[in-house]
Structure 1
Amino acid sequence: MIFHFGGTTTELALTDRFDAQRGFGFVYPEPPSFALRVPEGNYDIALTLTGPGEVTVKAEMRRLLLEPTRLRAGETKRLAWTVNVRRPQLPSGASVRLKKDEQGHLDWDELLSLEFHCPMSCLTELRVTPNTSAPTLYIAGDSTVTDQPGAPFAAWGQLLPRFFGPGLAVANHAESGESLKSFVGERRLAKIESTIRKGDYLFIQFTHNDQKPGANFVEPFTTYQDELRRFIAVAKKAGATPVLVTSMYRRRFDGQGKLTDTLGDYPEAMRQLAKAESLTLIDLHAQSKLVFEALGPEPSKRAFVHTETIKDDTHFSSYGAYLLARCVVAGLQKSDLPLKRFLAAGLSSFDPTKPPAPESWRLPEAH
């Protein structure tokens, strides 16, 4: 479908609210998001913008597509991405067992949602086209990876789409509180299995909840590896490529300004499994250590969720999520995966020992 904004020959005025009967329109409050009812699948998004103004674009549950970008007066920019839309229903008639706070999330509804942070006069044209051939990068993981529903929280899987051009969709199935076992029990892996196909990718990152005592606990070199093999098998059966991602450090500094590792043997167990199975490994555990130690004890608080009321040394701000996404992309760039060809053009190099300062990062959020 093609939508024109503004002018005298428009299909849709900027003040037109979402209408359930016609299935599209703007959703408020500020910032407005455009919603279009579509079937489950991947969609090519082509957006034409006209300056002046600064523009940031997100999709679905705050998935970053475009960092803040300044347009000069009269400047026109045409941008494109591929976005994944999913439903909780499975072919069997069962559904993913969504948590109570997931009910109504944009990641699971029947709409393709695009969130615009810009003067609405910048929006010129939007084209939405189904793409049934685009490969999909699936992500399975926990709260450090998921599409976090609101600021000040964010996670690396949420910012990863910003680093890809059109032709590949990121389907982030990670969810807060998940372990390898609970991800299976809640039919989240079954949901991935129902749609993953040849040419797709499955990135797998679990540890933070798997190491906790209780029913979901797994031992690093035995049951942890066994459960990971279950995920690997799902990808391979479909002809997709599994990729293992070690979990990042928590923010625990010793007196010498060095991080204390709270993840035990789990990262090493994943490294050994990747080697034994001849799989690509992205060692986010090692890279995050370099990043957080380079920032130091106090500046690193800006990468985590530290506010007047919250002191969280496990979960990330958008700045921290951005740094971790850069680490994942850097690992991908060093790999032999064909997935690399979908990376956005013009990506700058990233040195984890010299991360950009917190002051250099800014991401508009809904109020």
Structure 2
Amino acid sequence: MKLIGLTLLLSATFVNTFSQTTSFKFDFGTDKAANSYIAITPNSIFSKEKGYGFEAGSAVEVIDRGGNALTGDYITSNKPFYFSVQLPDGNYDVKLVLGDAKGTSATTVRVENRRLMLENIRTGNGKQVTKIITVHVKDSIIRDAQQKETGKVRLKSREFGYRHWDNLLTLEFNDSLPKVCAVEITPNKKATTVFLAGNSTVVDQDREPWAAWGQMIPRFFEPGNVAIANYAESGETMKAFMHERRLEKIWSMAKPGDYLFIEFTHNDQKPGGNHLDPFTTYKQTIKEWIGEARKRGMTPVLVTSMHRRNFDSSGHIINTLGDYPEAMRQTAAEEKVALNDLNAMSKTLYEAWGVEGSLKAFVHYPANTFPNQETALADNTHFNPYGAYELARCIVKGIVAANLPIAKYLIKEKIAFDPAHPDPVAKFYWPLSAAVTAEKPDGN
């Protein structure tokens, strides 16, 4: 795990020296690196002085097949392992050389807080493959146009241990037979950034078995053209998102042509200081965000919140979200902005799963399913990876239905999806990440 609160502990001097290096070429294997590459061996443990390396606890080994200096050797492990690189915030293309010159491989790649980028990339005997992913890296510092610090996002205590907000790009290599030959990192200044603002149903959940659609959606875009920047956080309301300066951080990073996806409801509907009334303050706040996005040349997209798992006796979903989805729909129509009606699609999806089948999409597990989980988990709001993946497929469907320009960058074979006929859970593959918790995320 990264050093807790690394962002807050980094000195300005450190950030302004090493972090100015934005391009790297790493040769994973022995200490004999290919020309112009940095050798990464099992002893390359991350330190802030060096600025890159494996996170402590990554149990990796090197296999040397001989021959080509770059592709003849590789790093592997029988457990998930994590490699971090110090970088300024922004978007980056990461080229990965995977496979084995004399064997097979199977590699899943996630970044930061379990953000899915590549799933189950298999190579045949003696084959290797080059893949590119596009990743958004962020820290908690807010900067003006001249890059002068003007403030910080007010992070919650649990966020200090997240694999983001820290100026580190962290790559998680996972699966049954991961084999990594090389990693190259270059800045991507041209990609359209899709900023996500939302709560626990959108956030990059940092630990198994929890997940949300925001951490699955990068998987559905072609690399190079779109970077998903997930700024959602568990327990957030629209008011809190502003007061904690998360929205201000997005504004500071945004450029013309970028997108802002907005999905809030679950916590805004609750009584208290952050409550918003659906047809008055909720609509007004959304309209204010739309206006600010447009001032910056961004495209706002409104996402109606998915239902909670709440069935009536006939197997139909009971609406627990009140008038908020309808208020979001009205706002989209009044402001002439794109609407992604996840609320409607989730109703179809849940009812297709049914009362019992839907349990396999939410965090419902008997006691002792996971390490140190002594009591059963029964959460009807938050998803496991399978459920989050299916919700992400709904989001993709909504992007296409709204005819958004970024739809042309969707991976073609991943577009077709009918919520009335979800993917079978038995065919969903998700090798577990290392970190697990039985603690429920904020929000309900």
CA contact (8 A) 1:14 1:120 kept: no
| SS of the residue 2:301 aligns to | strand
2:75 maps to 1:47: no
Structure 1 counterpart of 2:11:
none
Check conservation: 1:6, 1:121, Cα contact below 8 A.
Answer: no
Tell me, yes or no, if the aligned pair for 2:397 and 2:415 is still in contact at 8 Å: no
The alpha-carbon deviation at position 234 of structure 1 amounts to 2.2
**Which residue does the alignment assign to 1:304?**
362
Find the counterpart in structure 2 of residue 209 from structure 1.
267
Residue 398 of structure 2 is aligned to residue 346 of structure 1 = no
Matching of residues 192-203 of structure 1 within 5 Å: 192-203=250-261
How far residue 8 of structure 1 moved from its aligned partner, in angstroms, is 6.3
- Aligned residue identity for 1:5: F
Distance 2:413 2:353 in 1: 25
Confirm whether residue 223 of structure 1 aligns to residue 268 of structure 2.
no
Q: Percent identity?
A: 47
Which residue of the partner structure matches residue 23 of structure 1? Answer: 51
> Of 17, 27, 43, which residue of structure 2 is paired with 1:4?
27
- In the TM superposition, residue 230 of structure 1 has moved relative to its aligned partner by 2.1
Map of 2:311 onto structure 1:
253
Task: Quote how far apart the aligned CAs of 1:118 are.
Answer: 4.1
Quote the residue 1:294 is aligned against: 352
Gaps of 5+ in 2: 1-23, 34-38, 59-78, 144-148, 367-375, 435-444
2:330 to 272, 281, 288: 272
Task: Give the letter aligned to residue 12 of structure 1.
Answer: I
For residue 310 of structure 1, report the CA deviation from its aligned partner.
1.3
RMSD: 1.4
1:64 aligns with 2:87: no
1:334 and 2:401 aligned? yes
Say if 2:138 is the partner of 1:86: yes
* Counterpart for residue 313 of structure 1: 380
For the 8 Å contact 1:35–1:111, the answer to whether it is kept is yes
CA distance in 2, matches of 1:331, 1:118: 30
* Mapping of residues 160-179 of structure 1, within 5 Å: 160-167=217-224, 168-179=226-237
Residue type at the aligned position of 1:310: L
Q: 1:36 to 1:285 in 2, by over 3 A?
A: same
Q: Say if 1:279 and 1:246 are closer, same or farther in 2 by CA, change over 3 A.
A: same
SS of the residue 1:287 aligns to: helix
Q: Which runs of 5+ in 1 are unaligned?
A: none
Question: Counterpart of 2:355 in 1: which secondary structure?
Answer: coil
Q: Which letter does structure 2 place at the counterpart of 1:40?
A: D
Question: Given that residues 175 and 431 in structure 2 are in contact (C-alpha distance below 8 angstroms), is that contact kept between their aligned partners in structure 1?
Answer: no
The residue identity in structure 2 corresponding to 1:174 is A
CA distance in 2, matches of 1:249, 1:120: 37
Paired residues, number: 367
Q: CA deviation at 1:15?
A: 3.9
User: What secondary structure, in the 3-state scheme, does the structure 2 residue paired with 1:61 have?
Assistant: coil
Q: Give how far 1:68 is off.
A: 1.9
* 2:150 partner SS: coil
User: 1:156 matched to which residue of 2?
Assistant: 213
In the superposition, the TM-score normalised over structure 1's length comes to 0.97
SS in 1 for 2:151: coil
Compare CA radii of gyration and give the structure with the larger one: 2
**Alignment pair present for 1:38 and 2:87:** yes
